[in-house]
Chains A and B, each alone.
Chain A
Amino acid sequence: MSTKQIDARGLSCPQPVVLVDRALADGNADLEILVDNEVARENVSRLIKRRGLKVDISQNGADIIIRTAKS
């Protein structure tokens, strides 16, 4: 399955978490999530780890890119 992108920039929590949770529940384990603040990074990372996946975080200007990886 190809990588599913989620643009959660500018969304306040918990909406980034809700979007990611829904995507994971739909069976998409290969995600690339764009967020623009630390709180969203922490919350989304915590959710992904609790769902048994690893996270890979990189920075692109003001955007934070969170990728999921199979553990």
Chain B
Amino acid sequence: MKNIFATRTGIIVVGAVIGIGAALLQYFGNPPNMGICVACFERDIAGALGLHRAEVVQYLRPEIMGFVLGAFAAALFAGEYKPRGGSSPLIRFFLGIFAMLGALVFLGCPWRTLLRLAGGDGNAILGLVGLVFGIFIGVLLLKNGFSLGRSYPQRKASGWIFPALMVGLFLLLVFQVSFTPGGPIFSSVKGPGSQHAPIIISIIAGLIIGALAQRSRFCTMGAFRDMILIRDFHLVSGVAALLVFAFVMNLILGQFKPGFEGQPIAHTDHLWNFLGMTLAGLAFVLAGGCPGRQLFLSGEGDMDAAIFAMGMIVGAAFAHNFAIASSPKGVAAFGPAAVIIGLIFCLVIGFTQRDKIVA
């Protein structure tokens, strides 16, 4: 069976669906310029579980669960469900942590970077340039022989763990479970965490995007990486479609507001917007995928990608517990230090993890 989504037209259609879907999710209640943000939504999940106590960003986001489960279903259907793992899991866990710290200093993953741009947020330009710069550094390391080593096939059942976790989280959301009085599961009553589309819309959007992205291999990091590394413009055409269609939908829905000051859930510290996403971009290259792609891979049974995603959730908890995550008021006290430590970590990993692959 030919995979039509792996064609140029396919990837453009998928990018367009994500762009339109994100703008619509904002229209139905998700936070402004945050129709879909994998980093932000994993952060909200960390908050809902009580791993951090930032009251404004706590909600079990069904989009994340939909991404994993949609990709899981699509992979099963296409015969691509292959549990695998064992490629430097601990390193990937820490790459996930630092990717999240960088993303939360900027306030967004690559998807939200594009959505912020499509909503008129000029600060996203700095984030996008930082992201590409981080990916550029990662490409140099790849050319230098960087590798986290091979993964190996795992038993069929092990690949179910992450999708099963997502089902569990979804049930906690639907049944509004409360474990102790005043305790988790938390759900924000104000702030971005309180802004969300109806559960049914969010989960369906997540499932559709998850399935399409699994088939098409949509990846924002991969888009820029392939462009720099091998002059391949396949994936980037999907990214361009996401940006253009989100922009057009924002114009139609009256959600386009150009400028730098007073943008929703954003700050204007250009240096740390840039460096935050440099760190995130570098960590994504070393781990082999943007946060969205890591979720789709997790659905396919890639346990290394699932470890990265768990690292991001833990990283989000650190970010809010240790005053690293930025806020609309600006960069937090320990944000810059965390970014510098993260860049050092990634560079050390980048230079030390080299395979002598006998080809």
Residues of A within 8 A of B (CB): 4-7, 9-15, 17-19, 21, 23, 36-39, 42, 46-47, 50, 62
Residues of B within 8 A of A (CB): 3, 6, 78, 80, 82, 84, 87, 142-143, 147-148, 150-153, 217, 222, 225-226, 229-230, 232, 234, 288, 304, 357, 359
Q: Are A39 and B151 closer than 8 Å at their CB atoms?
A: no
CA gap between A26 and B3 in the complex, in Å: 31
Provide 17 A-B residue pairs closer than 8 Å at the C-beta atoms, listed in order of the A residue.
A4-B359, A5-B359, A10-B87, A10-B150, A11-B150, A11-B151, A11-B357, A12-B87, A12-B288, A12-B304, A13-B288, A14-B222, A14-B230, A18-B142, A38-B80, A39-B217, A50-B230
Q: Are B153 and A14 closer than 8 Å at their CB atoms?
A: no
Q: With A10-B84, A14-B142, A37-B82 in contact, do A50 and B232 touch (Cβ < 8 Å)?
A: yes
17 further interface pairs, Cβ-Cβ under 8 Å (given A7-B357, A10-B84, A13-B288): A5-B359, A10-B87, A12-B87, A14-B226, A15-B142, A17-B229, A19-B357, A19-B359, A37-B80, A38-B80, A42-B6, A42-B217, A46-B232, A46-B234, A47-B232, A50-B230, A62-B153
Nearest B-chain residue to A31, judged by Cβ: B359
CA gap between A53 and B3 in the complex, in Å: 21
Q: Are A11 and B147 closer than 8 Å at their CB atoms?
A: yes
Q: Are A14 and B359 closer than 8 Å at their CB atoms?
A: no
Q: With A19-B357, A37-B82, A42-B217 in contact, do A14 and B150 touch (Cβ < 8 Å)?
A: no
Q: With A19-B359, A39-B217, A42-B217 in contact, do A14 and B152 touch (Cβ < 8 Å)?
A: no
CA gap between A38 and B6 in the complex, in Å: 10
The residues of A that contact B232 with a CB separation of less than 8 Å are 46-47, 50
